[in-house]
Structure 1
Amino acid sequence: MTGLGSLVRLALRRTRWFYLAWVLGLAAVAPATATAYETVVGDLAGGGVLDVMAANPTMRGMLGPPTDLTTAGGFTVWRVGTFAATVAGVMAVLGVVRVTRADEEEGRTELVRSGVVGRHAPLTAGVVVGLLACGALGVLIAVGMTAVGEPVVGSAAFGLGVALVASVFVGVGAVTAQVTSSSRGARGLGLAVLGAAFLLRAVADAAADDSVARDLAWASPVQWMALARPYADERWWVLLLPAALTVVLVGAAFALESRRDHGAGLWAVRSGRSRAREGLLSTGGLAWRLQRGGILGWLIGLAVFALGMGSLSGSFDRMLQELPQLEMVFRRLGQGADQLVDAFFVAMLAIVSVLVAVLGVQLWHRLAAEENRGHAELLLSTAVPRTRLALSHLVLAVVASTALFAVFGALLALPESLDRGDASVLADSVGAALALAPGGLLVIGIAVLLHGWAPQLGWLVWVVVGWSLFVVWVGSILGLPDWLVRLTPWHPLPALPVDPMAWAPVLISTAAALALMALGVWGYRRRDLRLP
């Protein structure tokens, strides 16, 4: 491990702002939710109302298994604990791939290894820094929950559980960095594993108590923090599961690194065709060829999630019939309890609208990746104008993200439509998705503007996305000021069918998005290329 200390310091230097933003943002969610407990729940905590709500299959599928909902700590673990652990897993995968496979792909690792550095030192440095970030997140969560008055033991279990679950995905990121030959593939595979674990957890939690499927929750790493039961007779032995799995995955990553060539992955890159297909003779065809795998993965993931959540939507009506007092809870949670099924569709579309915006930004940022690697320079050295190259990626980002969001809306309402025998439910859900689509287009417009005029500030678009996801997931229960909640691209848009249709904000947001895109493409035409 010669040179490990220097490489750890280098990795910390290069990823300090990345990890700092993730850790501070996630660490603030838990104590903020705990302080809002009395406002949200109030005198309903001891009446069994929350227990009935937590036993609902849809609520369990969305939020995970409840522990003790009569305390602020137990409510926080149920309401945001699984969310925090899952998002921390995203941080871990992206962070590890960033300093391992991405650096190797861009040639940095080769330069480092030309010095006196051990073969496994770069991978070790990436893993160590990732584990340090996960540990820091766990400590801040534990300290924050203790600071707002929650028991020290439960807070320690909560923080340690989130840290260890995130550490599992440090190992996942390290393994995928050895399996694939590109950073894009490593990120996609790592996030696919995380998505599968979350989906497995959701299916298991939504199953009946006496169902065999309920036991599948133990197979999902993102569930282990909740199964440790923070604030409710903690089961410390459960936390040995993520710790052991992390050790196994990290060990596997080192073993796999010993078996592959530098710059290559265990999955060999297939040889290309001797002659290019006609579709590759255009910039649009090339953009599609580069992005089609990711788009297909998103389509499959969104389709499975939509059908799974849509099949559970009918349980809301039964829950409200069993306990009408739940209307008060849902009003406090900002879900609009007058029509629970409609409110459920609105909540799902609001969350996925932000996730689909992530897809759109990723598709657009492929142009930045091609520019950084020198591929764009090669294309532009031919008769291809800059505007055509930029539009080929931009059009794909806009069309793919909007189309996938509409498909999600249709599949989300499909079970309800079949149950009622009414196709209008499906049409209404698609319309609700399209009404929110301009928010995603506005995010893409911000990304295009930044890349066109200040590519070094392209990370700012992720601040917009992260804040929007925070607001849509937990903003309603934190009592944030209205002006702060409104600072998302989706806030002005109508949330159909709970809100009436309003064309003005839809058209204004669309026009603003198109203006930002046009201004960004113009800036891209005028500035110098960023050379590798």
Structure 2
Amino acid sequence: MTAAATTDTRTVGKPGPGRLTGTGRLLRLALRRDRVALPVWLLVLASIPAITVGEYARLYPDPAQRAALTRSLGGNPSITLLYGPAHDLSTAGGFTAWRFGTLLPVFLALVCVFTLTRHTRQEEETGRQELLASTVVGRAAPLTAALLLSAGFGLLTGLVTAGALTVSGTAVPGSLAFGLGLTSVAWVFTGVAAVTAQLAEYARTANGLAGGALGVTFALRGIGDSADGFTWVSWLSPIGWSTRIQPFAGNRWWVLLVPAVVAVALVVTAFVLRPRRDLGLGLLPASLGPATASPRLRTPFALASRLHRGMLLGWVVSFAVFGALFGALASDVGDIVGDSAEMRATLARMGGSEGVVDAFLATMANFAGMVAALFAVQAALRMRAEESAVRLEPLLATGVSRIRWITGHLGFVLGGSAALVGTAGAVMGAVHGLRTGDVDGGFGDVFVGCLAQIPAVWVVAGTAVALFGLVPRVAPGAWGVAAVFVLISLFGPVLNLGQAVLNLSPFDHVPRLPGAAFTATPLVWLTVVAAALLTAGVWGFRRRDVG
């Protein structure tokens, strides 16, 4: 008793950890966890503009062609809706800034959102943050470390992109303006993710709220840039702010102050909201479930449906918007290509041989398949998440067999990915048909071209399932496999890579429809490979230990 009393006396009155105590250690831990993913994203995002600069002189060697680009593209609302205003396309830097000034910030913003949510809300959801909170870690340290990581990655990506552009031969001020424009969008949505991580109780909900905000801002930017008399709407969007910097066409540095102020305000808001909630909970009240489970949840497939339906619905809506945008743009693609024979030949190699429009539609169908493959990986890895969270073992302790459980999830991995490419094909074909006045012909060709991507998508899905079943600890490596396939298919033709390298991607074996002749043989072989991978994954899952 005396020893206990002495110990208590020594600890009474000692100050607790400061709000930021442990921030450095948490930051180093986060860097260690993301030591592979973030460098890969940095390399991909920074290299794309530099590659385009190198191709610009080859695609548009004639100064007259370059001068005509701004006139032809600047007045086309469909093109401006997607790519933003064309300020000056007579230089490689100006063309690159226009071509990627709206799309590249979206990808960078998503990486920052997912990174911040992973190291904040997901840590609380899994219970790891509660363990850290019981040690000498300040309450604001986890959020601060995540903000430093995400914002630092955004800044580094902007600077490396600017450096790569400069090395490629563009002007230093324009390169820096473009890179800092990317960083500004990344910082704003880092702040948005910090706020949604305080509002939502689950990581998926926080990512969904931040992703929805990103989609709204992209739509506002598109409306403001393409609709007459609504230019002011673009100023409501962080993506619109990045284009208003006008890299290589004026370099308006003062515009950077707007996203900087907004990002600071969002971060301050996140820190104000953080102490107002309990650890593990969100400010938005979670709805209470029914006292008894619905009869519709009595099967493994019904449970899988409950787990996947929200995510699948969001992807379906995104693919419908994707189809509408590119279906409306297809008939105007000739303005983008212009009179460049090199550009026409490159686009034909990427997506078909029977005309530029068919090549463009085939390319978009191929791209839809690649993005659907990312959904397939995400859906397949949901099985690993259920296993890691120890929600699978209680189910298998009942009458649920492993085969029934994994089959329920595979229905959404395979069926969901097929539904996505089908949605994109149906909407893109219908919109293109309406614009050209040939609904029957336009719809059928585009729809079939998208459906032809399904076997390739299933090969990627089968890879993820095989990793989950055979070597579950490296299952997240399925993201790397999918990224390699996508990068080979996207940039292999442009970089004139050898056919042996292109053949590594399943998407290179899909017939380029519409435009090319339909051949069933590669689709059959892709289906066989996908079936073999899926079988191996199911077999491995049946034989290995759970956990």
TM-score tier (shorter): over 0.9
Deviations 1:39-66 (CA, angstroms, capped at 9, x unpaired): 2222256553422453333333333322
Alignment match of 1:36 (pick from 52, 55, 63)? 55
Q: Distance in 2 between matches of 1:166 and 1:475?
A: 28
The TM-score with structure 1 as length reference comes to 0.93
Q: Distance in 1 between matches of 2:368 and 2:268?
A: 35
1:15 aligns with 2:34: yes
Q: Distance in 2 between matches of 1:324 and 1:243?
A: 38
User: Which of 162-171 and 54-63 deviates more?
Assistant: 54-63
Letter in 1 for 2:384: A
Q: Distance in 2 between matches of 1:529 and 1:212?
A: 60
Alignment match of 1:330 (pick from 344, 349, 360)? 344
Change (3 A) 1:503 1:46: closer
Change (3 A) 1:37 1:325: closer
Q: Distance in 2 between matches of 1:227 and 1:337?
A: 37
Q: Distance in 2 between matches of 1:21 and 1:345?
A: 29
Letter in 2 for 1:347: T
Change (3 A) 1:72 1:475: farther
Corresponding residue of 1:54: 73
Deviations 1:171-226 (CA, angstroms, capped at 9, x unpaired): 12212211211112222222222233233333444x25xx1344422222223322
Q: Distance in 2 between matches of 1:83 and 1:523?
A: 39
Corresponding residue of 2:445: 428
List aligned pairs for 1:491-530, cutoff 5 A.
Answer: 491-530=508-547
Alignment match of 1:243 (pick from 252, 256, 260)? 260
1:482: Cα distance to partner?
Answer: 3.8
1:158: Cα distance to partner?
Answer: 1.5
Corresponding residue of 1:403: 419
Asked if 1 retains the 8 angstrom alpha-carbon contact of 2:429 and 2:442, the reply is yes
Change (3 A) 1:215 1:480: farther
Asked if 2 retains the 8 angstrom alpha-carbon contact of 1:218 and 1:224, the reply is yes
Letter in 1 for 2:482: V
Corresponding residue of 1:413: 429
Which secondary structure state, in structure 2, belongs to the residue aligned with residue 432 of structure 1? helix
1:220 aligns with 2:237: yes
Asked if 2 retains the 8 angstrom alpha-carbon contact of 1:153 and 1:231, the reply is yes
Corresponding residue of 2:10: none
Q: Distance in 1 between matches of 2:71 and 2:354?
A: 18
List aligned pairs for 1:22-421, cutoff 5 A.
Answer: 22-43=41-62, 46-55=65-74, 56-205=76-225, 207-208=226-227, 211-316=228-333, 319=335, 325=339, 329-334=343-348, 338-419=354-435, 420=437
Asked if 2 retains the 8 angstrom alpha-carbon contact of 1:330 and 1:336, the reply is no
Asked if 2 retains the 8 angstrom alpha-carbon contact of 1:151 and 1:231, the reply is yes
Deviations 1:298-347 (CA, angstroms, capped at 9, x unpaired): 22222233223323433346x49xx9725653334446585333233223
Change (3 A) 1:494 1:518: same
Structure 2: runs of 5+ lacking an equivalent: 1-19
The TM-score with structure 2 as length reference comes to 0.90
- Taking only aligned residues, the RMSD between alpha carbons, in angstroms, comes to 2.2
Change (3 A) 1:49 1:502: farther
Change (3 A) 1:197 1:243: same
Letter in 2 for 1:361: V
1:446 aligns with 2:446: no
Change (3 A) 1:485 1:126: same
Q: Distance in 2 between matches of 1:28 and 1:175?
A: 31
Letter in 2 for 1:356: A
Q: Distance in 1 between matches of 2:461 and 2:315?
A: 17
Q: Which has the larger radius of gyration?
A: 2
User: Which of 74-83 and 308-317 deviates more?
Assistant: 308-317
The structure with higher relative contact order (CA 8 Å, sep 6+) is: 1
Change (3 A) 1:200 1:358: farther
Q: Give aligned-pair identity as a percent.
A: 37
User: Which of 371-380 and 340-349 deviates more?
Assistant: 340-349
